[in-house]
């Protein structure tokens, strides 16, 4: 079963630096960067060598280059899932070392042999070997970094994977300068630009093997503890069964394929597209580079920019927007605008990609993580290469068309038509992923966008916990304590293990802080200091009591939580509620209640019920009215989490309404668990 864990916000720059400060991950990251550099340089060199071997025949050169892409596809079709099983069953570190040494030898042999047969044969073998290396690497990352740094790790990993593409292109261009000089002192056959690129490519994999050799921290596959006689076919079937049986994993894989479908359409059709814009090879290079520039921006900056959104919502939304920019790209006929559209397309595809990989790392159990990543990598390679191979054929079949509307004439070629329909398909995939994975179905995306601009959204989005987390909020004298006790008794009567707590005062430290915060003898506390003291209590409360209870599957009921700080210290003290919310989100590591019950009562009625008043209760009526209005405003922003109850009703009626809502939530959680 997939685990549902809270999705952290985007990693800050300091967090990105901190994940690279982990020695084991930093060394693995270096190997990933050099391996990715080698892959891109190898792609450029093998396609260039294919053109060189054509002897100047234009048609033969095009078929030869297409052949390189096709043979890169074949191993993914037949070996991808099996490679994942092996990554799960055997020592991942040794597997990575062996595959890197094999890639070194294969790339080194290509320019030495120097014919089409060995070029294609070696390319197939390299791709087959890479299919074993990739899942072993992907499955190792979550074991080397804490879960709260997994998104940072994925971010820098994907940046290494796709950020090295422009570097490889630059190195390949510079090699052309040295190739001419070397041809004067060495045989031309072994000193062409393609040959030099392949030599450097081979050396990069030898270096990667040496780096991984020193990484004793990489664990063996979690399934390697099983009997070596266990049937590999059964392991493979179990992996596919896990992927197909999880709604979240299905949605992730479906959407990640869509992200590369859109980017692949641009890469495959870029040369034809810029030709119809009356531009040459330089423009082709710029447009090709724009895709990867956008991907790098999306991977490195996107999660931070969109940190207010839950990961499940962001994934499908980013994919849909990326495909929308592909449609715009197909409709325009200006090179500058095309480059801008391509960067945006790549950026949102990058956001979707890093978000999807983060969720896969969190949702997938270690025992099947290798085969799951192998399955994803295989499908991505298949879809990307198919787009690269088929898109030009479709574009050629469509041909060039001129449309006349009145006195205006517009010409569109097959590349534009193909990209347009690819964008439509990508949008459909994105919308389906969004609808399948959104974690707050009754709240519109537009309301989230507005809340994000206010800085409030991060306080109302969160992941699921193993247990059930319920908070009670409301003004003074609303009857929260009475209702928490009644709910505790009801849940225990149906067999639930319940932890009842309060803020401040849920821990020994909280009791001491409660005396400071509520005792009239304390006197005046500056509003900002008061907000920070409440945040300190909440951070310790979550760490010491709430999160451990939730992780063990218990029901936690708390009398007040972060919404009280937003209402009392934010609206009541006339601080910015969004700033107070951000402090509490940081203090709680974005732990959000499953349900927040707000017992609404006019301030004067609630205050009239009190026998005595503490430091906060003694505030003027206007203060408490601001608090009440802020609670109602919070509830309106997320009706799925908040439940407003009229506090003027009888105790029994209020209890019945609350228990009915809790029953519905428990039923929903059971159904979601079954679907996974």
C-alpha to C-alpha distances, 276 to 244, 254, 269, 345, nearest whole angstrom: 43, 32, 11, 20
Mean pLDDT of 371-381: 64
Q: Which residue has the higher pLDDT, 41 or 447?
A: 41
Q: Would you state the pLDDT for residue 220? A: 60
| pLDDT value, residue 27 | 81
d(CA 475, CA 59): 78
Give the SS3 label for residue 403. strand
Supply 465's token pair.
Answer: 């916990």
The 8 Å CB, 24+ separation contacts for 198-202 are: 198/42, 198/45, 198/46, 198/49, 198/107, 198/108, 198/110, 198/111, 199/108, 199/111, 200/41, 200/171, 200/175, 201/38, 201/41, 201/42, 201/45, 201/107, 202/38, 202/103, 202/104, 202/105, 202/107, 202/108
Tell which wins on pLDDT, 230 or 468.
Answer: 468
Position 623 scores a pLDDT of: 92
Q: Are strands 408-412 and 401-405 parallel, antiparallel or unpaired?
A: antiparallel
Domain boundaries 455-675, CATH class:
alpha beta
Q: What is residue 291's predicted lDDT score, i.e. its pLDDT? A: 77
For residue 625, give every residue at least 6 positions away whose Cβ sits within 8 Å of its Cβ, in sequence order, or none: 603
Alpha-carbon distances, residue 458 vs 367, 448, 570 (angstroms): 32, 10, 16
pLDDT band with cut points at 50, 70 and 90 for residue 400: low
Distance CA 91, CA 282 (A): 46
Give the pLDDT band (50/70/90) at residue 423. confident
- Distance between the two ends of the chain, CA-based, in angstroms? 6
pLDDT per residue as tens digits for the range 629-659: 999 988 887 777 889 999 999 999 999 999 9
The rounded mean pLDDT for the chain is 75
Task: Give the per-residue pLDDT at 485.
Answer: 94
Dump pLDDT digits (tens) for 182-229: 656 555 555 677 778 788 888 888 888 888 887 777 766 554 444 334
Q: What is the pLDDT of residue 580?
A: 87
444 or 642, which is more confident: 642
Helical ranges in 53-149 per DSSP H:
58-89, 92-113, 116-144
Q: What is the DSSP letter of 220?
A: B
Among 384, 601, 336, residue whose Cα is nearest residue 474: 601
CB contact burial 464-490 (16+ within 10 A = b; e otherwise): bbebbbbbbbbbbbbbbeebbebbbeb
Q: What is the pLDDT of residues 135-151, one digit of tens each?
A: 777 777 777 777 667 66
pLDDT higher than 70, residue 468: yes
Domain 24-153+179-230: give its CATH superfamily: MFS general substrate transporter like domains (1.20.1250.20)
pLDDT at 13 over 70: no
Measured between alpha carbons, how far is 661 from 595 in angstroms, rounded to an integer? 9
Provide the 3-class DSSP secondary structure of residue 200.
Answer: helix
Token reading at 338: 């095309």
- Rounded to the nearest 10 degrees, how much is the dihedral formed by the CA atoms of 501, 504, 508, 509? 140
* Cα 326 from chain centre: 21
* Rounded Cα gap, residues 419 and 328, in angstroms: 9
- Which comes out higher in pLDDT, residue 505 or 360? 505
User: Comparing 108-117, 581-590, 666-675, which segment has the lowest mean pLDDT?
Assistant: 666-675
Short-list 303, 410, 416, CA closest to 357: 303
How many angstroms separate the CA atoms of 233 and 617, rounded? 67
Residue 450 has pLDDT above 50, yes or no: yes
Q: How many CA atoms lie within 13 A of 592 on its CB side?
A: 24
Separation CA 416–CA 335 (nearest Å): 13
Given a cut of 60, whether residue 285 has pLDDT beyond it is: no
241: tokens are 């069964």
Q: What pLDDT score does 6 carry? A: 35
User: What is the C-alpha separation between 428 and 352, in angstroms, rounded?
Assistant: 15
pTM for the model: 0.56
Residue matched to tokens 């039923």: 667
How would you classify residue 574: left for phi > 0, otherwise alpha for psi between -120 and 50, otherwise beta?
A: left
CB 394 within 8 A of CB 269: no
What residue segments make up the domains of the chain, in order of their start?
24-153+179-230, 455-675
CA distances, 71 to each of 120, 128, 135, 276, 485 (Å) = 7, 10, 20, 29, 67
Look at residue 533 and give its three-state secondary structure.
helix
Region of poorest pLDDT, from 259-263, 333-337, 588-592: 259-263
Share of the chain above pLDDT 90, in %: 16
Residue 494 CB: number of other CB atoms within 10 A? 9
pLDDT digits (tens, 9 = 90+) for 571-622: 888 888 878 888 888 888 778 888 999 999 999 998 888 888 888 888 899 9
Residue 56 CB-density burial (10 A; 0-12 exposed, 13-18 middle, 19+ buried): exposed
Structure tokens at 170: 């630059």
**What is the side-by-side strand order in the sheet with 642-646?**
498-502, 555-559, 468-474, 595-600, 642-646
Q: For position 493, what pLDDT does the model report?
A: 92
Other residues' Cβ atoms within 10 Å of the Cβ of residue 112: 12
Whether 133 contacts 5, CB under 8 Å = no
- Closest by CA position to 44, among listed 292, 222, 221: 292
Residues sharing a CB contact under 8 Å with residue 404, sequence separation 6 or more, in sequence order: none
pLDDT in tens, 501-547: 999 988 999 899 998 988 888 888 898 999 999 999 999 999 999 99
Mean per-residue pLDDT for 434-441?
67
Q: How high is the pLDDT of residue 564?
A: 92
Mean pLDDT over residues 427-443, rounded? 72
pLDDT of residue 480: 92
């Amino acid at each position: 079963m997939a685990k549902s864990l809270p999705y952290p916000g985007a990693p800050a720059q300091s967090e990105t630096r901190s994940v690279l400060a982990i020695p084991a991950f930093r060394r693995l990251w270096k190997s990933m960067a050099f391996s990715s550099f080698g892959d891109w340089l190898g792609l450029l060199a093998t396609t260039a060598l294919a053109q060189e071997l054509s002897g100047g025949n234009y048609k033969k050169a095009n078929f030869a280059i297409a052949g390189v892409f096709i043979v890169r596809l074949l191993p993914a079709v037949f070996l991808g899932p099996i490679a994942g099983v092996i990554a799960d069953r055997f020592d991942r570190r040794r597997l990575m070392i062996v595959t890197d040494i094999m890639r070194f030898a294969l790339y080194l042999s290509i320019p030495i042999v120097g014919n089409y047969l060995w070029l294609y044969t070696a390319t197939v073998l390299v791709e087959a070997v890479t299919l074993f290396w990739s899942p072993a690497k992907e499955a190792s990352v979550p074991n080397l970094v804490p879960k709260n740094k997994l998104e940072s790790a994925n971010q820098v990993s994907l940046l290494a994977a796709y950020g090295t593409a422009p570097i490889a292109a630059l190195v390949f261009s510079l090699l052309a300068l040295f190739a001419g000089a070397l041809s004067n002192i060495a045989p031309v056959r072994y000193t062409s630009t393609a040959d030099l690129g392949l030599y450097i490519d081979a050396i990069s994999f030898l270096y990667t093997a040496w780096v991984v050799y020193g990484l004793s921290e990489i664990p063996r596959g979690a399934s390697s503890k099983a009997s070596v006689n266990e049937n590999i076919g059964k392991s493979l079937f179990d992996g596919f069964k896990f992927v197909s049986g999880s709604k979240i994993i299905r949605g992730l894989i479906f959407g990640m394929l869509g992200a590369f479908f859109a980017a692949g359409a641009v890469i495959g059709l870029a040369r034809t597209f810029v030709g119809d814009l009356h531009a040459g090879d330089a423009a082709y290079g710029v447009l090709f580079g724009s895709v990867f520039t956008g991907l790098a921006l999306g991977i490195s900056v996107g999660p931070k920019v969109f940190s207010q959104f839950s990961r499940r919502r962001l994934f499908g939304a980013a994919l849909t927007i990326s495909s929308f920019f592909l449609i715009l790209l197909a409709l325009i006929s200006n090179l500058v605008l095309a480059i801008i559209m391509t960067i945006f397309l790549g950026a949102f595809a990058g956001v979707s990609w890093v978000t999807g990989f983060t969720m896969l790392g969190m949702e997938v159990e270690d025992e099947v993580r290798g085969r799951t990543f192998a399955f994803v990598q295989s499908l991505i390679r298949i879809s990307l290469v198919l787009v690269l191979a088929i898109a030009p054929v479709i574009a050629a079949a469509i041909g060039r068309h001129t449309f006349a509307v009145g006195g205006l004439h517009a010409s569109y070629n097959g590349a534009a038509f193909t990209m347009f329909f690819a964008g439509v398909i990508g949008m459909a995939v994105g919308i389906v992923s969004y609808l399948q994975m959104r974690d707050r179905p009754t709240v519109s995306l537009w309301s989230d966008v507005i809340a994000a601009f206010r800085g409030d959204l991060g306080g109302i989005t969160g992941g699921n916990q193993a247990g059930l987390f319920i908070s009670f909020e409301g003004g003074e004298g609303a009857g929260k304590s009475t209702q928490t006790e009644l709910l505790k008794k009801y849940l225990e009567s149906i067999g639930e293990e319940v932890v009842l707590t309060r803020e401040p005062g849920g821990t020994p430290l909280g009791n001491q802080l409660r005396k400071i915060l509520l005792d009239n003898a304390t006197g005046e506390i500056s509003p900002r200091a008061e907000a920070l003291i409440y945040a300190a209590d909440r951070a310790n409360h979550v760490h010491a009591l709430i999160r451990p209870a939730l992780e063990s599957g218990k029901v936690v009921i708390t009398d007040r939580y972060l919404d009280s700080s937003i209402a009392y210290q934010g609206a009541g003290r006339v601080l910015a509620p969004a700033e107070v919310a951000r402090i509490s989100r940081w203090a709680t590591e974005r732990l959000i209640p499953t349900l927040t019950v707000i017992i609404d009562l006019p301030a004067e009625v609630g205050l009239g019920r009190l026998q005595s008043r503490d430091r906060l209760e003694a505030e003027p009526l206007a203060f408490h009215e601001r608090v009440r209005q802020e609670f109602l405003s919070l509830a309106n922003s997320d009706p799925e989490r908040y439940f407003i109850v009229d506090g003027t009703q009888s105790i029994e009626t209020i209890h019945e309404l609350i228990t009915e809502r809790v029953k519905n939530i428990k039923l929903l959680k059971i159904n979601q668990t079954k679907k996974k």
